[in-house]
A and B are shown apart, each in its own frame.
Chain A
Amino acid sequence: DAGVTQSPTHLIKTRGQQVTLRCSPKSGHDTVSWYQQALGQGPQFIFQYYEEEERQRGNFPDRFSGHQFPNYSSELNVNALLLGDSALYLCASSNRWGLQETQYFGPGTRLLVL
């Protein structure tokens, strides 16, 4: 039983570019949440997807957008990258909408913006 998987593991971009990160949830899970974790900080909630719709959103600008596919996998897109977007991006899955269930985290994608 595969857990949460994310790709790529590492990524280097330059300011102004766009990036797409991918996540496959744990088998049996239908809800995907995305988090940004700066070095030495706790994760910050970006948004959550369920039934292919964004259900909840944290305090992130519109440059951050996402998508969920019929197979429950998800993408995180960041446009017009800034140096401050450098972080570990974590995907977490759970088996229903909302935040009452245990979330299982993937290994993350480390993004470096130069």
Chain B
Amino acid sequence: KNQVEQSPQSLIILEGKNCTLQCNYTVSPFSNLRWYKQDTGRGPVSLTIMTFSENTKSNGRYTATLDADTKQSSLHITASQLSDSASYICVGSNDYKLSFGAGTTVTVRA
């Protein structure tokens, strides 16, 4: 059964600080690993997509890493801003199915 587990469930950080979110996935066969940002009451927005051959990808202040051997991914947020407050969802994909994690809720405080 394909599964995606994220940690922590939630975290609070001060504006300007960095944070790292973790994702462990079991997706077979594996095609790609995605990170989405979901603001409250809105649909998810894609941040990064990585195939098994990629081990890092950046999108502005967001940097995702992928270790296909250990089936782990992380999302690093640099110099956080208030607008980074959202749920961050890790998604494992094969050719036919997306498996979503439950998300990590990030709250950035001034």
Contacts and interface: CB of A to CB of B under 8 A. Distances in A.
Interface stretch (A11-19, A40-48, A64-72): A40-48
A48 B45 CA distance: 18
B27 to A, nearest CB: 11
A103 B49 CA distance: 11
B97 A45 contact: yes
Contacts of A56: 96-97
A105 B43 contact: yes
A42 B49 contact: no
Interface in A62-114: 90, 92, 98-100, 102-108, 110
A56 B94 CA distance: 12
Contact count band on A: 20 to 34
B31 interface: yes
Given A41-B102, A43-B100, A44-B100, A98 B95 contact: yes
Interface in B12-68: 31-32, 36, 41-46, 49
7 contacts: A4-B43, A40-B102, A42-B4, A90-B43, A100-B31, A102-B46, A108-B41
Given A100-B32, A103-B98, 17 more contacts: A41-B102, A41-B103, A42-B100, A42-B103, A43-B100, A45-B97, A45-B100, A92-B43, A99-B96, A99-B98, A100-B31, A102-B46, A104-B46, A105-B43, A105-B44, A105-B45, A110-B41
